Chains A and B, each alone.
Chain A
Amino acid sequence: MLRVFLTAAVAVMVAATAWVFWDRARGSTATPIAGFSAPFVFGRFAVPPDNPLTEEAFALGRHLFYDPILSGNNQVSCATCHMQALAFTDGLAKSPALSGGELEFSSMSLINLLWGQERFFWDGRATSLEAQALMPIQHPDEMDQDLDALITELQASRDYRRMFRKAYGEVSAENVARALSTFMRMLISTDSKYDRFLRGEVRLTAQEEHGRKLFMAHPDTKVSLRGGNCIDCHSQFLTSGFRDALDGFSNNGLDSDDDLPDGLMAVTGNPAHKGFFKVPTLRNIAVTAPYMHDGRFETLEEVMDHYNDGIVVSDTLSPLILEADNAPEAGQNTVGLRMTPGEVQSIIAFLNTLTDEGFLTNTQFSNPFEGDG
């Protein structure tokens, strides 16, 4: 009996010592984010194995996201162009450039980035959030910051030294990217009216339900099925573009061949991808105006006018858009869904059920330098 006891005691001591050493050696003492869950209808997601979701990384990422120290002139933070109340967009057609004028593209909402496409930016040029995060920091017209200078600045701060140590071990540009990515991965919206409807907690109004049905149907006049065909590109639960390969990029008929921007073609070099852009999530879409990559539409009504009868034909235009038509007779000079005004209003009513007030005001996502943090 005594022998058993002694063996057990020795084993415990060895394990404890090993743990202490291992704990020191790994540098950080990060705690995995517990109780994190998402509706199963969102489907699979992947977190890079070398950047697990931890409380410490999230806290650090949140500070960095809101801190203008990330910019060269210490005046611009990520949140300058990604504001929580606007679902992390900036409310402008195109974000202002540091050198005056404006950037090429409209700011994008940051919602449920764990799902949907694994490429980021309108043209998909970043293949991971980690790769994306350092781009705006160094971009001369966004934050114009030298990474070495940034690391020196962060190292000078006791608070940041402590936060980096707890999350990752050391202060480095890589870990800046990792922490920002963790923060952005946790920007999860699951409590819109549509989510509560999917969970069986609320009913949609008759108009919203009509809009939902139209959103989810590709029209087929042959069987008298009316539809808005949104689901051909905006997935049914996530409302974002599709995850597989480049399925989440498309040309939705904004420009003619003469002035079609490169879009995804700039990244893949494939002419079949000219004018393809990332299909954005429609969650919280009611608060992210203006719309499209260049912010050309002010309201959801304008967006619907576009899909209804304002489609501009180009060589790479999605055949699903060109083919989706609710009117049995061929159109005269217009291409679009040709739905009734009532149907258009119903789709807009459905789009409004995608707003998640809890997400827009969640204090865990807000500026940690303000209020009780």
Chain B
Amino acid sequence: MRIWMTGLAILLFVGGALFFALGPQRTTSITLTFHAKMGDDPLIFDEFVYDNPGGSGTFRVRDFRFYLSNLTLSQDGALFAEPDSYHLLRFDNPETIHSIRLNDIPLRSIEHVRFMIGVDPEANGSIQVRGDLDPNSQMAWNWEVGYKFVVMEGTLRIGEEVSPLVYHVGFSENAREVDIQLPPDIGSDGNADLHVNVDLAKLFGGPSQIDLQKLSSVKFNREDAAMLADNYATMMTPMFR
């Protein structure tokens, strides 16, 4: 009995001391809004309005989506890592945007937003449902292969001839890190609003320029997949106003 009382007293004391030492924590909330674009303009689905960047013909986009994972926010040395951080970003809405909101992050302000395009190897090899990871979803290849990280599907039209476009990029080595540094004035009032452009054109016109006719699909060929990954690594640009 006595030992419990002593324990309790110590706990209360330590807890109280901590409470006063730290004082009321300031927290920050952040909204990340991703805007799907083709070049400078909002992405248009289901219409033949885009030129083949590396060759002839026009193409339409029927689907564009990707996994964003392992979102962390940091300030000086302090780091906040979102738990179960697996977001499927899809843009099939009238504004072609996707927002992620994180409330009351225990940071006074936010200097860096870091995340991965793709999924970390551990989660990629698991069939556990977490965040937006779902082995019964369209993004799952199958449990032996893991998830597609970035999906773009559509149709290429050259003259009267139409052919399918299928770009499914996965494999753990193709996850790409993105690090966005925020200007100091963003979120000084405890509420940060970050807008990021996601330029689909970069998928075919980043470091490598791609002719959609020659390379009309990418699935399991490792070199092709890595080439597209290096391209999509450049598709995010923050917009600061």
Contacts and interface: CB of A to CB of B under 8 A. Distances in A.
A243 B142 contact: no
A319 B62 contact: yes
A231 B141 contact: yes
B164 A323 contact: yes
Contact of B142 (A115, A222, A231): A231
A9 interface: no
A198 to B, nearest CB: 10
Interface stretch (B128-136, B185-193, B200-208): B128-136
Given A41-B127, A319-B154, A320-B153, A237 B136 contact: yes
Nearest to B219: A220
Nearest to A317: B164
Contacts of A225: 220
Nearest to A41: B127
Interface in B125-157: 127-129, 134-138, 140-144, 153-155
A217 B45 CA distance: 27
Contacts of A323: 164-166, 216-217
A242 B127 CA distance: 16
Interface in A185-238: 216-218, 220, 222-223, 225, 231-232, 235-238
A46 to B, nearest CB: 13
B112 interface: no
A244 interface: yes
A272 B168 CA distance: 21
Contacts of A42: 136
B177 interface: no
A204 B75 CA distance: 54
Contacts of A240: 136
Interface string B34-45: 000000000001
B129 A43 contact: yes
A223 B220 contact: yes
B135 A236 contact: yes
B129 A220 contact: no
Given A319-B166, A323-B164, A220 B136 contact: no
B98 interface: no
Interface in A99-115: 115
A174 interface: no
Contacts of B62: 272, 319
Contact of B90 (A44, A245, A322): A245
Contacts of A242: 136-138
A301 interface: no
Contacts of A271: 46
B137 A235 contact: yes
Most buried by B among A44, A220, A238, A319: A319
B155 A319 contact: yes
A357 interface: no
A220 B45 CA distance: 26
A247 B220 contact: no
Interface string A261-277: 00000000001100000
A243 B220 contact: no
A245 B143 CA distance: 22
A98 B125 CA distance: 52
A43 B92 contact: no
A244 B138 contact: yes
A278 to B, nearest CB: 15
Contacts of B141: 218, 231
Contacts of B138: 232, 242, 244, 247
B103 interface: no
B135 A43 contact: yes
B221 interface: yes
Nearest to B128: A40
A267 to B, nearest CB: 15
20 contacts: A41-B127, A43-B134, A115-B136, A216-B142, A217-B142, A218-B219, A220-B219, A235-B135, A235-B140, A236-B135, A242-B136, A242-B138, A243-B134, A244-B134, A272-B62, A319-B154, A319-B166, A320-B153, A322-B164, A323-B216
Which 7 pairs across A and B sit closest by C-beta, in order of nearness?
Answer: A319-B164, A235-B136, A216-B142, A323-B164, A322-B164, A272-B46, A220-B220
Given A220-B220, A247-B138, A320-B153, 8 more contacts: A41-B135, A41-B136, A43-B129, A43-B135, A216-B142, A220-B219, A237-B135, A272-B46
